Amino acid sequence: MSQAPSVFQRAPLPPATRESEPRHAQTLTATAPRPAPGTSAAGAAAPAPAAAKKRDPYFDNVKYLAIVLVAVAHAWEPVMDGSRATRALYMIVYMFHMPAFILISGYFSRSFDMTAPKVKRLLTSVVVPYLVFETAYSLFKRYADDSPDMAISLVDPFFLTWFLIALFIWRVTTPIWQAIRHPLPVALAIAMLASVSPDIGDDLDLQRVLQFLPFFVLGLLMKPEHFQLVRRREVRLLSLPLFAGALLFAYWAAPRMQLGWFYRANSAQEMGAPWWSGAVMTLAMFGCALVLTVGFLAWVPGRERWFTVLGAGTICGYLLHGFLIKGAEYAGLFDHYTWLSDPLGLVVVSLVAAVAVTLMCAPLVGRALKWATEPEMNWAFRKVSARR
C-alpha cells in the first residue's frame, strides 16, 4: 500500500561536512583562531554530531503483517463459501486489517502540510501509482477476463486501488483535522452520515473514503507513547480472550451478517437495511475494529525480524497481489479445483497468498517498480528557490 512520508529521516550532517556547503565556508581565514578540539568557536563545548535516525522496526513489522492479512483475506473470498469457520475468520480479519493499515497511514501523515516538497511526494507516491495501477487492472480484466467493454475509469477505482485515492483525499485534508478542536467526533459523524446516504455513488469510492475516515483521523491523533501503551504485556494478555470471544461471535454471526458492513462500500439502504442501522453499525464497527486493532498491534514484535525489511515494500505487495488473485479468478482456477474450498485447500490458498505477497514486498521488487510507485519526476515540478 502507499507509504506515508517517513518521519524517520536521516538527520542533517554537521555544516562542515555537507556536500552542498560552499568550499569557502569550510575554510578558516588566517586571522580567525581555530577553536580547541571539542569546543565551538564561542568556547562552548561542541555538541556531538546527531546520530542518523533509523526506521522503527515496529512499524515496518506492523505494515508487513497487515499486508499479509490483506492478501490472505482476498485469497479466501473465492473459496470460503460453504465454510462457516472460514467465513468467521474472514470477518475477524476484515474487521481490523484495513483499519490497522489506515491508522498507521494517519500516524505517518501527522507532519503533512501543503508545502511544495510534501505535495510533490504525495503526487509521486500516491497519485501516480493510482493512475498506473488503475489503468493496469482495467486492462488486465479487459484481456485476461475477455471483457472488451471494460472501461478505464480514473474516477471509479477498480478492486484494491480505492485505497490510493482514499489516502490522497485523507492526506490532503490533514491540515483541516489538525486545525479543528474535536476531529475524531467530527470524522465519526461524517462516517455515520455517509452510511445513510445512498446518493453518494461510486465516484472515487467516496463511501469507503468517508466511512474509513475515522481511523485515519485517529492515526493523526496518535503519539509514540500511545503505541508504547498498546505494546504492554497486560494488553497482550487481555487480547487473547478478546480474540477468542470475537471468533466465537463471528462464528455465530457468519450466516446472519452481511459482509457489506465490513467493506464499507455501500450505505445501509443499498444493503437493504433500515437507514438508521447505518449510523448504529458505523459506531459499533468502529468500536469493534479499534479493539481488535489494539489487540493486533499489541502482538507485533518491536525488534527486527527476518520480515522487518519487507515492511518498506508493502506498497508493492499491496498493488501486485491483486493480479495474482484476479488472475486465478479469471482463469477459473477456483471453480475448476473445488477442493480449494476444503480445509486443506484453504490452508494451501492461505500459504500461497502469504508467500506470494512476501516475495512481492522484497526490496528487489521495490527497486524494479520504483518508476511506478515512487518516480522522481523532477521534470514535472518547478524548482523551489531557497529563501534567503
pLDDT tens per residue across span 204-251? 999 999 999 999 999 999 999 999 999 999 999 999 999 999 999 999
- In angstroms, the CA 80 to CA 259 distance is 12
Nearest Cα to 68, choosing from 330, 310, 328?
310
3-state helix, strand, coil in the chain (%, to 5): 65, 0, 35
Percent of the chain with pLDDT over 90: 67
Which tens digit of pLDDT belongs to each residue from 149-186? 888 888 889 889 999 999 999 999 999 999 999 999 99
Amino acid at 255: P
Band (pLDDT 50/70/90 cuts) for residue 53 is low
The owner of cell 563545548 is 45
- The pLDDT value recorded for residue 38 is 41
Band (pLDDT 50/70/90 cuts) for residue 387 is low
Helix or strand (DSSP H, E) at 334: helix 333-336
- The pLDDT value recorded for residue 47 is 43
Band (pLDDT 50/70/90 cuts) for residue 384 is low
- In angstroms, the CA 107 to CA 151 distance is 35
Which tens digit of pLDDT belongs to each residue from 265-303? 999 999 999 999 999 999 999 999 999 999 999 999 999
Contact 299, 51 (CB under 8 A): no
Residue 67 has, within 13 A of its CA and on its CB side, a CA count of: 35
Q: How far is CA 303 from the centre of its chain?
A: 21
What b/e readout covers 124-134, taking b as 16+ CB neighbours within 10 angstroms? bbbebbbebbb
Amino acid at 93: V
Which tens digit of pLDDT belongs to each residue from 157-166? 988 999 999 9
Residue 12 has pLDDT above 60, yes or no: no
Rg of the chain (C-alpha set): 24
Amino acid at 371: W
Q: What's the whole-model pTM score? A: 0.82
Nearest Cα to 261, choosing from 84, 91, 71, 81?
91
